[in-house]
Amino acid sequence: MDKPYVVGVDVGGQTTKMGIVDRRGTIVEQTVINSKYGPEEANIFIDALCASIRTLTKNIGLNKIQGIGIGAPNGNYYKGTIENAANLDWARGKVIPLVSTVSKNLNVPVTVTNDANAAAVGEMTYGTARGMKDFIMITLGTGVGSGIVINGNLVYGHDGFAGELGHTCAVRDNGRLCGCGKRGCLETYASAIGVARTAREWLDMSEEPSSLRELTNISSKDVFEAASNGDKLAIRIFEFTGKILGRAFADFVAFSAPEAIILFGGLARAGKFILKPIKDEMNANLLPIWKNKVAILPSGLKENDAAILGASALAW
């Protein structure tokens, strides 16, 4: 029987979004459920997820669904699990057998991977990376995630956890403490939280006038708005963030020689402030063979659809 649809599921810390996607990458129906369940309530969440997929596919029919792709924090492609996901109460310090439970319940093939890997597959299937065989997806959100594609295949590594580029070292000595327990991780500088942290540090360290001083809580969005209004400190914060990213990217290129690095997520929207320093610093740190040859590109997926599309692309 022809199965012209897949379901994409994006498990986030607050909510889980899911949608039915056709071969052209159109989301034909979508819905959202709560992700916030207690430490012992993984099964309740998974039951709710399955019930929601049944309802979502009621009109089209589950028998028209080729597969279900799930993007989830610490999703392990090999094992079909969510392992020790810090921002999901029901998966913290635990191994949750997501794939086996959902596929048994719905009798449809299920695949899981982490959010950034899902984004990379989505980009390759429906977005900027169509036709590319070697690229790196960097997601600049609350954290910094990555999905690495080499020779047309997502890199999972020996254990399924490859591509943690947000936790490579950006600042070697006295780097910022990261949520992972290490110091100096790229994520502590180049995530939305990292940008806000830079703002607070720099405001504390100088008397320089800045519209950011008037705010009690500073978010990366505030820094973006200040930069857009010409605030010099805010503009320099993005230059600094871009430099940190550009240096890191140069090392990533030395590893896998990608055709492009694709940026996704909130910070990627700060393009006009962050893109030039990224490119300049990356090129300054590349071997001559790669200078000005590796593209830095924005995601080709609409922000609101990207997580569902990415997860769904796993299922084709």
Residues that bind a second copy (CB under 8 A): 83-84, 133-134, 148, 150-151, 153, 155-165, 167-169, 171-172, 180-182, 247, 250-252, 254-259, 285, 287-290, 293
Shortest separation between residue 233's beta carbon and a second copy, angstroms? 22
CA separation, residue 169 to residues 27, 248, 290 (Å): 38, 8, 22
- Give 162 or 308: the residue with its C-beta nearer to a second copy: 162
Minimum Å gap between C-beta 216 and a second copy is: 33
Give the nearer residue to a second copy in terms of CB position, either 24 or 172.
172
d(CA 246, CA 269): 16
Least distance (Å) between residue 274 CB and a second copy = 19
Cα-based angle 127, 132, 134 (whole degrees, multiple of 5):
120
Q: Please identify, using beta-carbon distances, which residue of 28 and 287 lies nearer to a second copy.
A: 287
Distance of closest approach, residue 74 Cβ to a second copy, in angstroms? 8
Residue 254: which residues within 8 A CB-CB, separation 6 or more? Answer: 286, 287, 290
Which of 233, 238, 237, 189 lies closest to 207, judged by CA? Answer: 233
DSSP state of 154: E
Q: Please report which residue ranges of the chain form alpha helices under DSSP H.
A: 42-56, 98-106, 115-126, 187-190, 192-205, 220-228, 232-256, 271-284, 303-313
- Whichever of 7 and 261 has its CB closer to a second copy, that residue is 261
Helix, coil or strand: residue 175: coil
Give whichever of 168 and 219 is closer to a second copy, judged by the CB atom: 168
The least CB distance from residue 7 to a second copy, in Å, is 27
CB of 239 to a second copy, least distance (A): 17
Q: Which is nearer to a second copy, 74 or 210 (CB)?
A: 74
Query: For residues 211 and 191, what is the distance between their CA atoms, to the nearest angstrom?
Result: 21
Tell me the residue length of the chain. Answer: 316
